[in-house]
Amino acid sequence: MNRRPRRNHTPGFKAKVALAAIKGDRTLAQLAEQFDVHANQITSWKAQLEGGAADVFGPGGGHGAAPPAVDVKSLHAKIGELTCQYASNCDPLFASNRDPSGRDGLGLST
């Protein structure tokens, strides 16, 4: 007996099948025959869609993954450090003429 090779369904296909199941105008058996998947699989995809549908309307919904948190303080420190290195390489007097307050002359603290 030959087995059918394992199939990987795209998220778009799963959503299409789950939405058809939620509509309720056809039975699971009809949908299973139409889309050539098992009725249990349709039930699982339908439950996943219903469980995750509220996230679409929540904070940051519909944008996929949340943007990563950015540590602004460390980025400003790195900018100041690189600016100081660049200015020191361009102007040899820059390092000796630094403001004692710790400012690099460009308004960035190091």
pTM for the model stands at: 0.52
The pLDDT confidence band at residue 85, using thresholds 50, 70 and 90, is: confident
Q: Mean of the per-residue pLDDT values for the chain?
A: 80
Predicted local distance difference test score (pLDDT) of residue 23 = 94
How far, in Å, are 69, 74, 89, 96 from residue 45 at the CA level?
32, 43, 60, 67
List pLDDT tens digits, range 30-82.
999 999 999 999 999 999 999 988 887 877 665 555 566 778 888 888 888 88
Q: Is the dihedral of CA 2, 8, 12, 18 positive or negative?
A: positive
For 50, the enclosing helix (H) or strand (E) is helix 39-56
pLDDT value at 6 more than 80: yes
Predicted local distance difference test score (pLDDT) of residue 67 = 61
User: What is the average per-residue pLDDT within 80-93?
Assistant: 72
